Structure formats: C-alpha cells, structure tokens
Amino acid sequence: MDIPFDFLTNALVDIPFDLLVNALVAGLLLGAFYAAVTIGVSISFGMLDIVNIAHPGFIILGSYIAYIVNTRLGIDPILASIVVAPAFYALGALVYQVYYASFERYGQEALRGLAFFFGLLFVTEVTLILVFGVDYRYVEAPYIGPSIPIGIIDLPLRMLVPCLVALALIGTLQLFLSWSFLGRAVMAVAQDQLALQLMAASPTRIKRVAFALSIATTSIAGALLIVIQPVEPSIGREYIGRVFAICVLGGLGSLPGALIGAFLLGIVESVTSTFYGPSWAPAVAFGFLLITLAVRPAGIFGR
Amino acid sequence: MRTLTFFLVCLAVAAAVFVLARLVGNDYVFFAGYVVLQYIVLATAWNILGGYTGYVNFGSAAFFALGAYASVFLHKAFPVVTTYFLDEPYALPIPALIVIGAIISGFVGLGMGYLTLRLRGAFFAIATLALAVVLQTLITNWSYVGGARGAYVIRPNEIEPIGPYIHYLFLLMLALVVIALTVARSIERSRLGLGFAAIRDDELAAEASGVPTLKLKLIATTISGALMGMAGAPFPYYIGYLQPSSAFALDYAVNSIAMPMIGGTTSWVGPLIGAVLLGTLQQVATVTISSSVNLLIVGLLIVDCVIIAPTGILGLLQGRRTARDVVADQAVFALLFVINVIPIYFLHQEALSARPLEIIFWAVLIFLALARGRMIGLPWLVALPIVGAALSVVPGPSWLWLVSALTLVICLACGLLLRPREAIVRSGTP
C-alpha cells in the first residue's frame, strides 16, 4: 500500500521576488475588501453579541441589487449601493426587531436565534438561485479592467477602487462610533448592557440602530464584491468562515483590529493561492480561524 | 433494564419496517427510505449536542463526510479480501467501515470540542463551520480519494442472504437508527443527560454547582460526531460515486438542524418526528419539484418553526402553545408574512403536483393573520389568506392567482397599517 498523502508533500516552489511582491500587494488590496465585508459582523457579533451568520447572505443580496441597477440603468455599482444602503438599514432594523421580539427578549438567542439566522441565510441564497439561476453575474464600470503598473507592481483598478471605498467606509464608521453620541452609546452597549439599563437608556433601541447599520454596510460590501469578482448566490458561504475568522482574529468589537485581521488574512490567502493554487486558499483561512480560536481566543488585539 | 426493553422494541419496529418495505416490492422504497433513515441518525446525533447540551453544530456535513471518505479510503486501501463463499474480490464489510467511521468522526469531534468548547457557545458554532470548509478543502486536494473529481465505489449487485444490495444498506441504516435512538434515549434518562440539560439551561450555574461542564461537553461532541460518522460510512456504497460536493452537501448541515428544531429538541422523539416528516416530505418533493425549491422549503421551515413553535411539533403535541403573542408583533408579522409568500410563489411555478406543498405555507400565513388580527382587534383579517389559499390551491384560470396575491397584499397592508382605537395592545413582557 503506497502512502496516499501526496498532497502534503506538494512542492515548496522557489519563490520569484516580483511574484511575491505582487502577491503581497494583491493581499493588501484584498484585505481591505475583506475588512469591508467583515465590518458589519464586527458590529453585530463583536459589539452586540448577535451571531448574525446570515451576514454573507445580505452581502450577496447587495451584490445582486448592484448588478440589477448596473445592468438595467447603467449606474455605477458602488454609487448604486450607497443609494440603496438606507433600504438595507431598514431591513436590518426589521430583522433585529424580529430577533429581539422572538428570541432575545426571552433569552433564547443561543440556539434558536442562531438557527433563525441560518434559516434566513438559506432563504436569501435559495431565493436568489431561483430568481437568477446559478450563473455568475458581473457588473460593468470604467475601473474594471485597466491597471496601473508601478515598477514591478501591477495595481489592478478593480481591486484598488474597492480597497479605497472599503477604507473610507471603515474610517467613517470608526469616526461615527468614537465621536457621535449614538456611536458612543453603541460602544457602551458593547461594554456593559446592564449598566446602560441602570442609566435609564434602552439597549434595545441602540442595538437596533447598530444592527441596522451593520446590515447597511452589507449593501456597499456587496457592491465591492461584485466589482472584484463575478458573483453567484452560493459564494456567500465561503464568506461565512472568512468573516468570522477576521472578526475573531482582530479581536471582537474592534474595528481597527478587524482591519488588521483582514489584511493578515488577505495576504495569507493571496500568497497561498499564488504559490499553491487557489483551491488551497479557503483551508488556509479557516485553518487560521481554528488556530486563533485554540491559541488566542481573544484575538490578536482582543481585550 | 428499561433501556434494554426500549432497544428490543426499537429492533422489533425496525424489523417490521424492513418486512413492510420488502412487501412493497419496489426498490425505490429502499432508496428513498435509506435517505430518510440516514437523516434520522443525523438529526438524533445533532440533537445530542444541539438539543440536549445547547451547542449548535453547523458542521454535520463534515462529520458525515469524514465517515464517508474513511470508507472510500479503506475501500481503496484494502481492495481484495476474498471471502469464503464468494469468488469475487470484496472490500471490508460495511459494518466494519461503520465502526471505523464512527471512531474517526468521534475523535475529530473530541478534538473539535477540545479546541473550542472552552469558549463561548457561538464560537463553537463558527468553528464547526470552519472545520467543514477545512476538511472539504483537504479532501478536494487529496487525489487518492478522488479529489475534486470524485471516486467510484462499485457496489456488488447482490449480497448472499438478503438479496439486492440496497436492501442490505437499508437494513444497516435501520440498525444504525436503532443504535442512535437507544443512545439518545439512554442519555436523556441518565445523570449524563441531566448534566447536559444543566449546561444547556445555564452553563455558569451548572459549573458553580459542580457539574464537570468541559468533560460533559467533550462527551457530547464525541458521541454526536461518532454517530454522524456512522451515518456517513455506508454512504459511498449507496451513492456509488462520491465527490466532495455531495459528501459535504449543505443539505446535511441544514437538515440535521432543521429536523430536531421542527420535531422538538428536548427528547429523542423530536428528531425522529422531524426527520420522518421532513425527510419524507423532501423525498416526495424531489420527485415533483426542483432541489432548490426543496432547500428553500427547509430553510423557511426552520425560520417559521423557531419563531412560531419554539418547542417544535413535540411541544405542540404536549399541549404547549405556540408563540402567538410573539407572532403578533408588528415586525415579526411583516417579515414572516413576506418570506412565507416566497415559496408559495415558486411552488406555483412548478408542476401542478407541487401545489399540495403550498398548503404548509398557506397555513402559516393564516396563522399569522389570525394572531395579528386578534392583537389589533380585526378578527376578519384571517379571512383574507383563507380566501387566497382557496383561490390559489384550486387549479383554475391564471387571473385567480392574481386575486389571491391581491388578498395577501391587502392582508399585509391592513395588518400593518390599520390600528382601531379599541386595539388591545398586550404588553410584550414574558
């Protein structure tokens, strides 16, 4: 019987320098995008303790809305997503209200709340499959295609633009959380809900706003996703693990932490898929998550 | 002793099921029945961790696939074991594969639990998701067991004393069901089950009163994982051609959560009821409708069930009431109403034979309208979806369908906008 573990001995390739640099840069760009995808979960899971595993479902929904607006009206997908974000905010508020009324109020969010979001994820995914089919969809925009060469580095605009939008999104949210009254209230919920109640403030209202915000970010993240790669309904599943990996990696409830976690994961994935092939990338991401959970559950920048 | 009685009763029922299936004389019964039985094992296994202990496992498919791929590996590694009475080359007997699958999945479950169970509950759920993806990637890249292409496992057509091979597989799965149910029931009635329930209800309090929580949780993950691995071990022989996407299919993860949730998570009967109902429904549905609609129905049933009937069908049978006050909440009413229309719409586009399935969702809509109508003092609201259902399910000209859709829109709008002065607004505190 021959040893069938050939996949483990699979080649340590000698690494060309310019390929490595390009992989690193691509990883950074990818990381910023991952941060935009994660930021919502950082708020809902990290700060509010709501394990919203339907988050990727909302992101894919955002992608498809950007796709519809782009193909029907010819509007820029990212611009369209910002216009649609208030609708996602309303959707988020509705979902939180349901979550609160059915589970949180009775303290049953652990099992049934999780199952609720799991079901929601399925309903959105399968509905999208039924409406649009499983074909890959893509958008058209002037920045998809060309790239800027800087020395040996090749900066594709379809990655650069989402990267910048993502950074702007995270910056805005961070400013909102640390400077506005409402934002600080959200941070207060994250720290101690009971204390907030003792101050005669309703954590429910604040949580609703924060959760709705986290869903509003999925609209933009969805548009970024469909700019970066063609989208079909079930790719959302790949993002479940990725998103929670980043969230845990950076430390729960910390936006800068999530950004750094996202950069790390982006670089690791990009380097892996450059040198070992893309089929290995998901395992690396999730392996990262498992190791983080085992070794340092509070995350790299956790409290 | 009572466990023994239970085991014997189960065996007798299983034997009766097998004899009945043989009497039907159609092999399709065995093919469909095998899947339902497999879901009973998976749902029961999930429930030992999810229902008794309160830890959600999203990675059922991973444990299942581990069992299946262990079989594929052994099938390839030991291809020729010539038995006494058969001339043809023959792989390891499936019962041995089941035991091996159970051991491997059990160990992975133990390791999984050891990695994550010291953390808060939600992390465990996320980690199980991660585990599923890591394993799937490993298998996809491992060419020995077929890799992304998949592996053929040729099963013999006949087996000596029983006859057609599918009968043999069916019988094996029946045996696994008996084992799984006996294990679940004996856990439920033992100190172990008491400890699990204590963890589920309040882990901190349990730990403070001296329940060895970590140890118990590790036992739960191991047993649950092992049972799932057992369910997966005969799978390659059933399907004949195993590829990662079918072994790690989301159906397993979704169904093994949905079935206990729908049946009821507090007792071994719940997953059994849920798996038989939902499994049979799906087997009927796959014949008539597309598999996407099938998944949509399951996903939606999860959402409906966790909100409307928190204790599952079992709870309803035991006379515990549905969460009518919760459903009457404005937001819950709006969201549930809208998403329950989705499957009705898609089922309507399928073949005419799919129409009866619509009734489930019409019933939910009627219940929603009833609850909301009582809350806002408009009892006539319930009439609208009833009319809609009658118009929709009965085959007729297409404009009837439009009228039916109109009744739903009116019902939703009235439910959300109308608020008579004398509205009885019950306080929502539990």
Q: Do A111 and B50 touch (CB under 8 A)?
A: yes
At B182, the amino acid letter reads T
Percent share of chain B, pLDDT over 70 = 91
Percent share of chain A, pLDDT over 70 = 91
Mean pLDDT computed over B148-176: 82
Distance (Å) from the alpha carbon of B343 to chain A's nearest alpha carbon? 9
Q: Which of B208, B37, B202 is nearest to B121 (CA)?
A: B202
Q: Are residues B167 and B104 in the same domain?
A: yes
User: Would the pLDDT of B44 be above 50?
Assistant: yes
Name the pTM for this structure: 0.85
CA-CA distances (angstroms) from residue B396 to B133, B402, B430?
47, 11, 45
Q: Are residues B35 and B143 in the same domain?
A: yes
User: Does residue B232 form part of some domain?
Assistant: yes
What is the distance in angstroms between the CA of the first residue and the CA of the last residue of chain B? 41
Mean pLDDT computed over A252-269: 87
The domain of A212 spans 29-235
Contacts B76 to A, Cβ<8 Å = 4
Contacts B293 to A, Cβ<8 Å = 126, 130
User: Does residue A211 form part of some domain?
Assistant: yes
User: Which of A38, A102, A124, A244 should we substitute to test contact with B (largest number of B Cβ atoms within 10 Å)?
Assistant: A102
The CA distance from B56 to A111, in Å, is 6
Q: Are residues B240 and B366 in the same domain?
A: no
Q: Are residues B376 and B268 in the same domain?
A: no
At B230, the amino acid letter reads M
Domain boundary among B289, B313, B348: B289
User: Does residue A8 form part of some domain?
Assistant: no
Provide CB contacts within 8 A for A237, sequence distance 6+: A56, A125, B250
User: Does residue B300 form part of some domain?
Assistant: no
Mean pLDDT computed over B168-172: 89
Apex A182 CA angle, A177 and A188, nearest 5:
70
Q: Are residues B196 and B279 in the same domain?
A: yes
The CA distance from A275 to A292, in Å, is 23
Of B141, B331, B342, nearest to A7 by CB-CB distance is B141
User: Contact at 8 Å (CB) between A249 and A296?
Assistant: no
Q: Which of B400, B287, B416 is nearest to B348 (CA)?
A: B400
pLDDT at A69 (0 to 100): 92
Interface of A with B in 117-146 (CB under 8 A): 118-123, 126-127, 129-130
Interface of B with A in 262-281 (CB under 8 A): 265
Interface of A with B in 53-82 (CB under 8 A): 53
pLDDT tens by residue, A52-99: 889 999 999 999 999 999 999 988 999 999 999 999 999 999 999 999
User: Would the pLDDT of A10 be above 60?
Assistant: no
Token representation of residue A54: 């339907």
Domain boundary among B243, B269, B289: B289
User: Does residue B428 form part of some domain?
Assistant: no
User: Does residue A43 form part of some domain?
Assistant: yes
Q: Is B127 on the interface with A (CB under 8 A)?
A: yes
User: Would the pLDDT of B337 be above 50?
Assistant: yes
pLDDT at A6 (0 to 100): 46
User: Does residue A96 form part of some domain?
Assistant: yes
Complex ipTM value: 0.82
Q: Chain centroid to CA A201: how far?
A: 30
Beta strand B151-152 with A153-156 is unpaired
Give me the number of domains chain B comprises. 2
Lowest-confidence pick of A157-171, B203-217, B312-326:
B312-326
Interface of A with B in 187-226 (CB under 8 A): none
Contacts B49 to A, Cβ<8 Å = none
User: Does residue A254 form part of some domain?
Assistant: no
Q: Are residues B61 and B181 in the same domain?
A: yes
Apex B216 CA angle, B211 and B217, nearest 5:
120
The three-state secondary structure class of B89 is: coil
Residue with tokens 């990695």: B115
The CA distance from A111 to B200, in Å, is 9
User: Contact at 8 Å (CB) between B334 and B327?
Assistant: no
User: Does residue B311 form part of some domain?
Assistant: no
**DSSP state for residue B50 in the 8-state scheme:** I
User: Does residue A269 form part of some domain?
Assistant: no
Contacts A297 to B, Cβ<8 Å = 118-119, 123
User: Does residue B298 form part of some domain?
Assistant: no
Residue with tokens 């019933």: B363
pLDDT tens by residue, B178-217: 999 999 999 988 999 999 999 888 888 998 998 898 899 9
pLDDT at B54 (0 to 100): 86
Q: Are residues B341 and B239 in the same domain?
A: no
User: Would the pLDDT of B22 be above 70?
Assistant: yes
pLDDT tens by residue, B53-96: 888 888 899 999 999 999 888 887 776 555 555 544 456 778 88
Q: Are residues B85 and B31 in the same domain?
A: yes
* DSSP-H helix ranges across B141-266: 165-188, 191-201, 203-208, 213-232, 235-239, 244-247, 250-263
Give me the number of domains chain A comprises. 1
User: Does residue A36 form part of some domain?
Assistant: yes
- Residue B150 sits at φ, ψ, to 5 deg, of 100, 165
pLDDT tens by residue, B382-404: 888 888 888 877 776 777 778 88
pLDDT at A225 (0 to 100): 93
| Type and span of the H or E element at A95 | helix A77-102
Q: Do A106 and B430 touch (CB under 8 A)?
A: yes
**DSSP state for residue A14 in the 8-state scheme:** -
Domain boundary among B265, B289, B313: B289
Q: What is the average pLDDT value for chain A, to the nearest integer?
A: 84
User: Does residue A130 form part of some domain?
Assistant: yes
Q: Do A116 and B293 touch (CB under 8 A)?
A: no
Query: Which CATH number characterizes residue B231's domain?
Result: 1.10.3470
Q: Is B302 on the interface with A (CB under 8 A)?
A: yes
Distance (Å) from the alpha carbon of B26 to chain A's nearest alpha carbon? 33
Mean pLDDT computed over A174-183: 91
Q: Are residues B332 and B281 in the same domain?
A: no
Of B116, B303, B307, nearest to A123 by CB-CB distance is B303
Token representation of residue B365: 């809509």
Q: Chain centroid to CA A157: how far?
A: 20
The CA distance from B188 to B184, in Å, is 6
The domain of B401 spans 324-417
User: Would the pLDDT of B284 be above 60?
Assistant: yes
pLDDT tens by residue, A135-154: 898 888 888 878 888 877 77
User: What's the alpha-carbon Rg for chain A, to the nearest Å?
Assistant: 20
pLDDT at B245 (0 to 100): 84
Q: What is the average pLDDT value for chain B, to the nearest integer?
A: 83
Q: Are residues B37 and B112 in the same domain?
A: yes
Mean pLDDT computed over B93-100: 84
